[in-house]
Chain A
Amino acid sequence: MSIVEIDQLTKDYEIGFWRKRKVRGLDALSLAVEQGEIFGFLGANGAGKTTTLKVLMRLTFPTSGKARILGEDIDKVSMHRIGYLPENPYFYDYLTAREFLEYCAELFGQPKQARKRNAEDLLSRVRLDEKRWDTQLRKFSKGMLQRVGLAQALINDPEIVFLDEPMSGLDPVGRREVRDLIASLRESGKTVFMCSHILSDIEVLCDRVAILKKGKLAHMGRLNDLRQQQNQENLVEIIVTQTDVPETFVVTETPGGVRIQAPGESDVDVVLTALRKVNGKLVSVQPLRQSLEELFVD
């Protein structure tokens, strides 16, 4: 069963004061998200990712089209079953992290004891330092606010969580922790719909992705399938200290040597053999991670 169904969703914005004109934010977007998957929603700035989430969260109304969450029209679905982390979250800065989470739990009608327990559980789960639980949010860094944002999105134990740039503002350790948290949501049977710019996180986490360009759906599917469509699944990047390499490869000079783009893993041996002959040194070999980025930019 599809947990999220978006059908021909279109959103026009009016801009200008005197001479109003319409700008299309979303253009007949259709997609479906299946139960229990982590679905990545990608696109450049202004592509329409956040607009899509706002329509799904009823923060903005679509010009046309329909959307359903958990089998219900978006204007009928119970928000008790949904979690949402807005982009660059900003919360009531006069509240402490604990107070804010308890307030959110209260809006879901949780009894007092449960509110307290859930707030503490989640603050631990998002790895917010316990010493900061009773600090006002106005004293929090962006990364700490992001953790509180994640905690409030999970306070009602939702069936589906919508995360808008969940890694934003986090340092590498924080990103890894949040990545683990999102993966654990899938393990507990929840569906995650996440927007992100950070391709490495998408590649590690997501079962399927949709790529949005100028409000339109450009690609959708499993990552491997998308790469195969682009015939780029086997590209390998080899960085060496020596410039004397076979001419058959795409070579770019770097300050310490050259960067070689080989069509497949079997070509690594050819490059290494050539390198040994001239006493060159290998710096790194890695699969080329640009395929998704190229899908983005194309």
Chain B
Amino acid sequence: MTDPSAPVQEQTLSGSPAVWRRVVAIARNAFLEAVRDRVLYNLVLFVLLLIAGAIFLGELSDGQERKIIVDLGLSTMLLFGVFISIFVGVGLVYKEIERRTVYAIFSKPVSRGEFLVGKYLGLCLTLLVNVVVMGAGVSLALLYARRGGDSLALTIWPAIFLIYLELMILTGVALLFSSFSSPALSALLTFLVFIIGHFSTDLKNLASTMESVVGRGLFNALYYLLPNLNNYSYITPAAHGQVPLGSNVLLAILYAAVYIAITIAAATLVLGRRNFK
């Protein structure tokens, strides 16, 4: 009898160049899917919003105008990114199983882990293009507002990088839910993770004020289980020209790397045991 949990040849991600070539091929295909399904059209909407905002903000004083451009631009970038992470992310695996496109892929030398990593990286590439183009748009808007050089046009980029890391985490969560749940439920759960993730510190504080052991345990578990997305919120300080400490950015990168690795490993474990009907 074949044990589904047994190690399978071509089913583990190793350092082999052939494995990474397959992962890159899958990632490129996932990116192409996003492009051809017009996911990046949201950029047009973003640019229109930015132009409308610039016209409206022309009425405001200079200091406020720049602050609002950053606030509005980066918040919209996060919002659009969250929508893409959730709505494209939850369909990454589910859609392939429903449409049975995985049959032709898994009958080739592609392990389920490689497939997941490739799909994940493909969506991250889409988000990267999105974030970079939007970031450039915000920088240009700032330069236009000052009619010349503006330090804010550069200092907002660490905050943009943190937004991107947050979207990468959220995509990992969406991918995990997508490996075993329907898109609607996955989208709901990922959105809840996004919301609760921003109130992570409150969960910890709530747990410490609770008398019930069960309640304390539950909220502590949620605190450690759900991603702490507060670490990635730097929009308001960025609007005031502040730049995050290098050590904080480094910690944010490490936290994201570990969290993403865990979500993809869990998704691989779930998908690896799954029977396709």
Which of A's residues lie within 8 Å of B, judged by CB? 13, 54, 57-66, 73-76, 78-80, 82-84, 86, 88-92, 94-95, 103-104, 106-109, 149, 152, 156
Asked whether B9 lies within 8 Å of A78 as measured between CB atoms, the reply is yes
Given contacts A94-B32, A107-B105, 9 further A-B contacts (CB under 8 A): A61-B273, A75-B2, A75-B9, A90-B100, A94-B36, A108-B109, A109-B21, A109-B22, A152-B104
Shortest CB-to-CB span from A146 to chain B, Å, is: 13
CA–CA, A54 to B104, complex, Å?
Answer: 11
Identify B100's interface contact among A61, A84, A86, A103, CB under 8 A: A86
Interface of A, secondary structure class, is loop
Asked whether A103 lies within 8 Å of B29 as measured between CB atoms, the reply is yes
Identify A78's interface contact among B10, B22, B99, B273, CB under 8 A: B10
- The size of the chain B interface, using a CB distance under 8 A, is 33
Asked whether B10 lies within 8 Å of A94 as measured between CB atoms, the reply is no
Which of B's residues lie within 8 Å of A, judged by CB? 1-2, 4, 6, 8-10, 18, 21-22, 25-26, 29, 32-33, 36-37, 99-110, 273, 275-277
Instruction: Name the A residues within 8 Å of B104 (CB-CB).
Output: 84, 86, 89, 91, 104, 149, 152
Asked whether A92 lies within 8 Å of B29 as measured between CB atoms, the reply is yes
The tally of CB-CB contacts under 8 A between chains A and B is: 95
Q: Answer whether A62 and B105 are a contact pair too, CB < 8 Å, given A92-B33, A106-B21.
A: no
Instruction: Name the A residues within 8 Å of B18 (CB-CB).
Output: 109
Asked whether B10 lies within 8 Å of A79 as measured between CB atoms, the reply is yes
A136, closest chain B residue (CB) = B36
Instruction: Name the B residues within 8 Å of A91 (CB-CB).
Output: 101, 104
CA–CA, A63 to B275, complex, Å?
Answer: 11
Instruction: Name the B residues within 8 Å of A83 (CB-CB).
Output: 107
Q: Answer whether A107 and B110 are a contact pair too, CB < 8 Å, given A60-B275, A62-B1, A92-B33.
A: yes
Shortest CB-to-CB span from B270 to chain A, Å, is: 14
